[in-house]
Amino acid sequence: MKKIFFLAAGCMYLAFSSAQINGFVFEFDQNKKQAGLPNAIVQVKHGEFTTTDTSGKFSFASAKKGDTLIFSLTGYKTEAVILKNLDKPLSVNLSSGVMLNEIEIAYRTNGTDISYMSAMKLEILNERSLMKAACCNLSESFETNPSIDVNFADAVTGTKQIQMLGLSGQYAQITKENMPYMRGLANGYGLTFIPGTWIKSIQLSKGAGSVVNGYESFTGQINTELHDPANMDKFTFNSYVNENGRNEYNLEFKQAVTKHFSTNWLAHASYNPLAEDKNKDGFADIPTGRQYNIMKKYTYEGKKGFEGRWGASYLKDERLGGQISNNKVSSDTLLPYYIGINNEKWELFSKTGYVFRKKPGTSMGLQLSYLNHNQNNYFGTTTYNALQKTFYANYIFQGIIKTTDNTYKIGASYLDDDVAEKFQLFKFYRREQVAGAFAELAINRKEKFNMVAGLRADYHNYYGIFYTPRLHLRYAFSTNSVLRLSGGRALRTANIFADNAYLMASSRVWNLEVSDLSMPYGLKPETGWNYGLNFTQRFKINYREAYITIDAYRTDFENQVVIDLDSPYQVSIYNLKGPSFSNTAQFEFNMEPRKRFFVKTAYRYVDTRMAYAQGLRQKPMVSTHRAFINFSYETRNEHWQFDFTTQYNGTKRLPDTQIGPTLGAIARNTSPGFFNLLGQITYLAKFKKSEFHVYLGVENLLNYKQTNPIVASDAPYSKYFDASMVWGPIYGRMIYAGLRFKIKELTWLKFKEDL
């Protein structure tokens, strides 16, 4: 009854304290006269939004005193207004975007924002979220997010992999600035190729994505936005070190070349000099190695509507692992078992666009990229060498139908994937050429109903013509209650070696069952459907915002490449011959019980099953139950930040493994559940134009470790050896420390207030 009373009282308060707000958004022209800005976005922070008409005017059906309105438009700096007088019209001046560096608009957040107006369920992980833990690279950026699972891929390479909606990371479309990133050879180790300090934000959407970005999204899209010359700090330095000796250094700075043209450098270097063997199995727990990573970007912001982003990047990544002592080497080992992973990658990219200033909501853009990725690996006597060359082009035109409530996108794309691989004595080569066209319609009806419907048709030189339909629906019962439905189809080529590189750290024999010799690897493409439902309810507890969100998704495969590990000493690869699906349900609750103290809790249930040769079984290495709780607190002066996360990882099915009696046996068919605790303390010192951060943290606080993660570690050249059966932490407790130093253009937070 108390909840009902407070809810009713809150509704009455909103009803009697709201009013219609009218306003005008403008810029000063060359004659210093006010000129209305059409199609500017006006949004209540975390709430409803509207756009200005052709004369720059707007109105809200309801708003209340104390609301913060955010005004934004491409090419102009964002402004924020706190409503203090509901009786007078608002007049807001937006200045040219070339002045973006002169002001910073900020508000307190727990690190993750959920869009209430988007037809897709979209989570935005900002820099505050990335600062909660040791985000040395993209693979470690999801430790404090309950939607993504992060696990070690094996016991010797130190590589981490992610899972989303109960499926491996390759089924999520991972993009970098909305262009393809995690494809082909990058599927194995690419998550470690984007340094955490380079990331401005991560946009995470579950389920079917947009047809504009391609046809490969089964479980969702993870897009990473990197720091751009137009909106980054003037100078940033970051360093990190942990007790394993891993040390990293990041340097970022920008330069304004002209009034409209700017550039930046992003540089990264990391070293891991120590080979430690804490579990005494004769193998290094984490490989030694080094990585050099550099990126150069250029930005042009024209006053006549033309915008451009260009850049290039280069990466060199080397790792060395394997045996580091001969104490446990058996007579079958003539040479130590070494592991080497070497990646060299360079990339060119371009994003250009034109905004039709006289046609509201009308623009066009062209995305271009070229990638060259060379990989050379060895695992004992097993070798894997590969070279990938990829060209990508995507043209997008956006317009409106009568009003900005009805928008559309049409375009065309082209992908050329040239991949040559050599695994052991076998050679594989494929060149995929895909030309496609797409159309997407978005309809908005008074912030009550949204629909995004898309269809793309692609011609693949191996698979012929295929179609990708996708649909997203949103209905708002109120400004605080939102229901979303989604559905769509996806297709991808399975990269059987790059996707499963962790299995090379074993003596398993790879058996490939060919279905069609005309297809890559002789296997049919993976195709399937994803259906999803999301409900989000926002409310207030103790006058502070809180929300719950409930997700339910199903991924249903029409065809899939099965990686069967249930046959002893083998990796069997074949096309699906039966059902395969993944059902997930997640509940999340987020609140701020006290000012600057945020609590996020979540629980997820996963049921992922696949038809193996032995019958329909649960997919191995996937937790059925997972729970999560995160605490974040900032002191009043913002000098101290405290973050603490507890993760519960439920039991996982282990592959059937038969090993010799002298080597011991796996006594259970499932792994035990375990807790993983991590935390961090950060001190911030803010000056007029700079910030200094020092942080100290710990991962795996309880020092929980998987016992004997390597099967037959004393006989690495025997048929029993297997370092891929990893279900839990390997290293144990890890303490780390670091510092950040930033020089800003201007750190004062300013709000325009109506008089």
What are the tens digits of pLDDT across the range 319-352?
999 998 654 444 444 689 999 999 999 999 999 9
User: Residue 668's pLDDT band (boundaries 50, 70, 90)?
Assistant: low
| 96 against 449, higher pLDDT | 449
Is residue 40 classed as helix, strand or coil in its secondary structure? coil
The closest alpha carbon to 110, from 697, 588, 482, belongs to: 588
The residue with tokens 């540089």 is: 267
Backbone angles phi, psi at 400, to 5 degrees: -120, 160
Residue 287 pLDDT > 70: yes
The closest alpha carbon to 191, from 172, 211, 178, 208, belongs to: 172
Structure tokens at 519: 């297809």
Give the DSSP per-residue string, 672-714.
PPEEEEEEEEEEEEE-SSEEEEEEEEEESTT----SS-SBTTT
Radius of gyration of the chain, Cα coordinates, nearest whole angstrom:
26
> Which residues are 487's β-sheet partners?
471, 531
Show the beta-strand stretches assigned E in 577-729: 580-594, 597-612, 615-618, 625-634, 640-649, 674-686, 690-699
Structure tokens at 672: 């035990």
- The pLDDT score that the predictor gives to residue 63 is 65
User: Residue 455's pLDDT band (boundaries 50, 70, 90)?
Assistant: very high
> Which residues are 307's β-sheet partners?
301, 353
- The pLDDT score that the predictor gives to residue 606 is 96
- The pLDDT score that the predictor gives to residue 671 is 92
**103/93 Cα distance (integer angstroms):** 14
- Convert 174-241 into a string of H (helix), E (strand) and C (coil): EEECCEECCCCCHHHHHHHCCEHHHEEEEEEEECCCCHHHCCCCCCEEEEEEECCCCCCCCEEEEEEE
Q: Are 501 and 483 in contact (CB under 8 A)?
A: no
- The pLDDT score that the predictor gives to residue 212 is 93
Residue 64 pLDDT > 80: no
Q: Are 48 and 58 in contact (CB under 8 A)?
A: no
- The pLDDT score that the predictor gives to residue 50 is 76
The closest alpha carbon to 73, from 35, 113, 28, 39, belongs to: 39
User: Residue 143's pLDDT band (boundaries 50, 70, 90)?
Assistant: confident
- The pLDDT score that the predictor gives to residue 29 is 65
Residue 755 pLDDT > 50: no
Q: What is the mean pLDDT of residues 125-153?
A: 83
> Which residues are 380's β-sheet partners?
none
197-222 pLDDT, tens digit per residue, is 899 889 899 988 899 999 999 999 99
Structure tokens at 540: 């207030």
Distances (CA, A) of 643 to 396, 400, 701: 41, 44, 13
Instruction: Please tell me the class of the 2-95 domain.
Output: mainly beta
Q: Are 393 and 178 in contact (CB under 8 A)?
A: no
250-277 pLDDT, tens digit per residue, is 999 998 888 888 999 999 999 999 888 8
Amino acid, res. 300: Y
User: Residue 108's pLDDT band (boundaries 50, 70, 90)?
Assistant: low
Residue 664 pLDDT > 50: no
The closest alpha carbon to 146, from 646, 619, 535, belongs to: 646
For domain 112-220, is the CATH number 2.170.130.10?
A: yes
**Chain mean pLDDT for the chain:** 86
**406/193 Cα distance (integer angstroms):** 39
Q: Are 237 and 740 in contact (CB under 8 A)?
A: yes
User: Residue 46's pLDDT band (boundaries 50, 70, 90)?
Assistant: low
- The pLDDT score that the predictor gives to residue 695 is 95
Q: What is the mean pLDDT of residues 133-139?
A: 80
- The pLDDT score that the predictor gives to residue 151 is 86
Q: Where are the domains of the chain?
A: 2-95, 112-220, 221-753
Q: Are 33 and 71 in contact (CB under 8 A)?
A: no
- The pLDDT score that the predictor gives to residue 54 is 67
Helix (H) or strand (E) holding 416: strand 403-423
Number of alpha carbons in the 13 Å side-chain half-sphere of residue 446? 5
- Residue 206: which residues within 8 A CB-CB, separation 6 or more? 121, 147, 164, 165, 219, 220, 532, 534, 551, 553
Residue 622 pLDDT > 70: yes
- The pLDDT score that the predictor gives to residue 130 is 81
Q: Are 684 and 640 in contact (CB under 8 A)?
A: yes
> Which residues are 705's β-sheet partners?
none
**256/100 Cα distance (integer angstroms):** 12
> Which residues are 289's β-sheet partners?
272, 319
**736/270 Cα distance (integer angstroms):** 14
User: Residue 744's pLDDT band (boundaries 50, 70, 90)?
Assistant: confident
Backbone angles phi, psi at 398, to 5 degrees: -120, 135
The closest alpha carbon to 221, from 132, 121, 366, belongs to: 121
Number of residues that make up the chain: 755
Residue 47 pLDDT > 80: no
Q: What is the mean pLDDT of residues 719-731?
A: 90
Q: Are 576 and 626 in contact (CB under 8 A)?
A: no
80-89 pLDDT, tens digit per residue, is 887 776 667 7
Residue 598 pLDDT > 70: yes
Distances (CA, A) of 2 to 10, 235, 538, 547: 12, 52, 17, 18
Rank 44-58, 354-368, 474-488 by mean pLDDT and report only the highest. 474-488
For domain 221-753, is the CATH number 3.40.190.10?
A: no
- Residue 593: which residues within 8 A CB-CB, separation 6 or more? 541, 542, 544, 599
**157/287 Cα distance (integer angstroms):** 6
- The pLDDT score that the predictor gives to residue 750 is 35
492-517 pLDDT, tens digit per residue, is 999 999 999 999 999 999 999 998 89
- Convert 339-350 into a string of H (helix), E (strand) and C (coil): EEEEEEEEEEEE
User: Residue 74's pLDDT band (boundaries 50, 70, 90)?
Assistant: low
Q: What is the mean pLDDT of residues 113-137?
A: 80
**549/551 Cα distance (integer angstroms):** 7
- The pLDDT score that the predictor gives to residue 560 is 95
Structure tokens at 390: 């990829």
Four-residue CA torsion sign, 63, 65, 68, 71: positive
380-435 pLDDT, tens digit per residue, is 999 999 999 999 999 999 999 988 888 999 999 999 999 999 998 889 999 999 99
- The pLDDT score that the predictor gives to residue 351 is 94
- The pLDDT score that the predictor gives to residue 357 is 77
**Burial class (CB within 10 angstroms; exposed 0-12, middle 13-18, buried 19+) of 721:** buried
Number of alpha carbons in the 13 Å side-chain half-sphere of residue 418? 9
Distances (CA, A) of 181 to 72, 175, 201, 318: 29, 5, 16, 20
Instruction: Classify residue 525 by its DSSP letter.
Output: P
| 183 against 694, higher pLDDT | 694
The residue with tokens 């296997």 is: 523
Instruction: Classify residue 326 by its DSSP letter.
Output: S
Helices (H), 571-709: none
